[in-house]
Amino acid sequence: MDQIVRLAGAEKVPPCTVVIFGASGDLAMRKLIPALYSLDSCGERMLADETMIVGCARRAIPVDQFRQHARSAVERLANAPLQEGCWDRFASRLDYLSGIDHPEGFARLKARLEQIELSGGLPPNRIFYLAIPPDAILDWVQRLHDSGLIGLPEGRGFSRVVVEKPIGVDLRSARAINAGLHRYLDESQIFRIDHYLGKETVRNFMVLRFGNSIFEQIWNSHHIDHVQITVSEEEGVGARAGYYDHAGALRDMVQNHMFQLLSLIAMEPPVSLAAEDVRQAKLNVLRAIKPLTPEEVHHQVIRAQYAAGHLDGKVVPDYSHEPGVAPDSATETYVALKLFVNNWRWSGVPFYLRTGKALPRRASSVAIHFKHLPAILFAEHHRLPANVLTLRIQPDEGFSLSVTAKQPGLDLSIRPVNMDLHYEREFQARSPEAYEMLLYEVMIGDQTLFVDAETVERSWLFIQSILDVWEREGRQGLLSYAAGSWGPAAAHQMLRQHQCGWYEP
Ligand code: BG6
């Protein structure tokens, strides 16, 4: 019989007002509004009746127009289907405040919030979502503070601030942003988003590791040969060159998403599921990763930029010919690297990370390669393939374990087969979208799925050791790969040196 163990029920969130700065922007319309609608939709009904959503932006548009934009975003992008009854209820929660950048903008916001709270009998529970360019974050937080909208938490309500990545562009700027946030906010009020932590499959990492007796026993250097983490994207830079050409794959993906995946895979069992215990266990992984020496950067890190190629039957131009990209850009659109987690559990086990744009498929996965068996019994003439546990984050969410099995027949032929779980087929239930999950967690005030200040700085410390070398060397050492291929030959060579190849999604 199926046994569902419900550890944390999806509780209704306390009534609150969600203020979205940058409400007419891409993030708000593509992710936040659709996610809030899905949370509020007829099936889930997770939002408290009194909850309100106030969009703030510069543009002066009537609230009805804001609602209309929101409706078309929900129609196109929400995980839950648009139903008229649910939409009407959701639309009545939406309010809009223009001219937030004016000197008196925050005073008007304060007055609006007080009015909403008074008329709805709401406690001053406020969530400020900063869906704004990173260089505006500190200014906005200061204005929130100066207008008396955030103070240290007191008994009467809460004020929380949600910050998007990137937190900084290097170690120095990340430290400055954290220090700036801490001037006005307690760490318990800050929710730094890394949307990978909201993905259903990533949330399953801990359950898989610590909820099954078979894995944790062998989750160490005695049994694991190496680990591969891949986040590959089919899209090129698209319309984001303005941001991406200053960031590159290392800053955009490795410093945050990939290091979060790595720390969940490599962490020790936390003492409890409380946010501080889980975050501490993950942080300890990053503490055990040493910054690379320049020589290690040369041997262990490969960077490349895509050149013209074909993807899905379409021609992709050289990255440097993409609109908005500097013609002599040294920005990497691909990174592959090897690192070690220097603690007892992982001593000597390489972790290989790779990510890139304009690769053949969109696919994110973690592949745990177990050690080979001794060449005795079935493997006198050649090595049997090692067992591999592959966690597929997206698409085709699920996981598989490759094992060796006997092929039916009178002879003794053996080959690897996959034990495979597909989320959709197995659970036949809607998985919440990452932003739904994360917004829900902000509202209930649980910081487990958010990134704390030290974690941000620890991962920058490692990344900085690479950036320093690249900055000195400019385009020297920057390789190229054809769009639509699996990256430069050197990245494959790196794995061949380990006598294996990259897992091909
Ligand atoms: C973002 C990066 O954080 O993550 C993008 O800035 C990237 O460049 C995106 O495309 C990938 O997210 P997902 O959920 O599509 O894998």
Distances (CA, A) of 167 to 136, 264, 330: 11, 20, 22
Residue of 193, 232, 257 to test ligand 1 pocket, by largest number of atoms within 8 Å of CB: 257
CB 215 within 8 A of CB 208: yes
Catalytic residue among 257, 298, 369, 422: 257
For atom 9 of ligand 1, which residue has the closest CA? 253
Instruction: Give the contacts of 65 (CB within 8 A, at least 6 positions apart).
Output: none
Beta bridge partners of 357: none
Which atom of ligand 1 is nearest to 233's Cα? 10
HSE-CB for 147 with a 13 A CA cutoff: 20
Tokens for 182, please give them. Answer: 């801490």
Q: How far is the CA of 250 from the centre of ligand 1 (A)?
A: 12
Please list the residues that pair with 162 across neighbouring strands.
129, 191
The pair of three-digit structure tokens given for residue 359, joined into one six-digit string: 């690769």
Print burial letters for 290-316: b (CB count within 10 Å at least 16), e (below 16).
eebeeebbeebbbbbbbbebebeeeeb
Residue nearest to atom 10 of ligand 1 (CA): 233
| Residue 51 φ then ψ, to 5° | -60, 135
User: DSSP letters of 472-485?
Assistant: HHTTTTEEEEETTS
Name which of 341, 132, 352, 405 is nearest 228 in CA terms: 352
CA–centroid distance, 401 to ligand 1, in Å, is: 27
Which residue has the least CA distance to atom 14 on ligand 1? 196
Pocket lining: 252 vs ligand 1, CB cutoff 6 Å: yes
Q: Per DSSP, what are the bridge partners of residue 224?
A: 370
In angstroms, how far is CA 70 from the centroid of its own chain? 24
Q: Which ligand 1 atom sits closest to the C-alpha of 165?
A: 3
Whether 354 contacts 335, CB under 8 Å: yes
Structure tokens at 15: 């009534």
Does 194 contact ligand 1 (Cβ within 6 A)? Answer: no
Tokens 């990053």: give the residue.
286
**Closest to 42 measured CA to CA, from 93, 95, 89:** 89
Structure-token pair, residue 169: 């562009």
At residue 380, the pLDDT reads 62
**Is the beta carbon of 233 within 6 A of some atom in ligand 1?**
yes
The two structure tokens encoding residue 292: 């690379």
Residue 1 pLDDT: 42
Known active-site residue 223: no
pLDDT for the residue 103:
86
Pairing of strands 388-394, 52-56: unpaired
Helix (H) or strand (E) holding 184: helix 171-184
Return the amino acid letter for 1: M
* Structural domains of the chain sorted by starting position, each given as residue range(s) with its CATH number in brackets: 17-196 (3.40.50.720), 197-371+452-498 (3.30.360.10)
Distance 355 CA to ligand 1 centre (A): 11
Q: What is the pLDDT along the chain (505 residues), one digit of tens a residue?
A: 456 666 666 667 899 999 999 998 999 999 999 999 999 987 778 899 999 999 999 988 999 999 999 999 999 999 889 999 999 999 999 999 999 888 899 999 999 999 999 998 888 999 999 999 888 999 999 999 999 998 755 667 899 999 999 999 999 999 999 999 999 999 999 999 999 999 999 999 999 999 999 998 999 999 999 999 999 999 999 889 999 999 999 999 999 999 999 999 999 999 999 999 999 999 999 999 999 999 999 999 999 999 999 998 899 999 999 999 999 999 999 999 999 999 999 999 999 999 999 999 999 999 999 998 877 777 666 778 899 999 999 888 899 999 988 889 998 888 889 999 898 888 887 788 999 999 999 999 999 999 999 999 999 999 999 999 999 999 999 999 999 999 999 999 999 998 889 988 7
What does the alpha-carbon distance between residue 248 and residue 265 come to, in Å, rounded to a whole number?
A: 24
CA angle 252, 257, 258 (to 5 degrees): 100
> With a 6 A CB cut-off, is 396 part of the ligand 1 pocket?
no
Enter the tokens of residue 118.
């008074």
Give, in degrees to the nearest 5, the angle at Cα 452 between 256 and 194: 35
Instruction: Give the C-alpha separation, 198 to 49, whole Å.
Output: 24
Q: How far apart are CA 199 and CA 31, in angstroms?
A: 13
User: Whole-model pTM?
Assistant: 0.94
The amino acid sitting at 321 is: H
Q: SS3 of 331, please?
A: coil
Give nearest CA residue, ligand 1 atom 6.
252
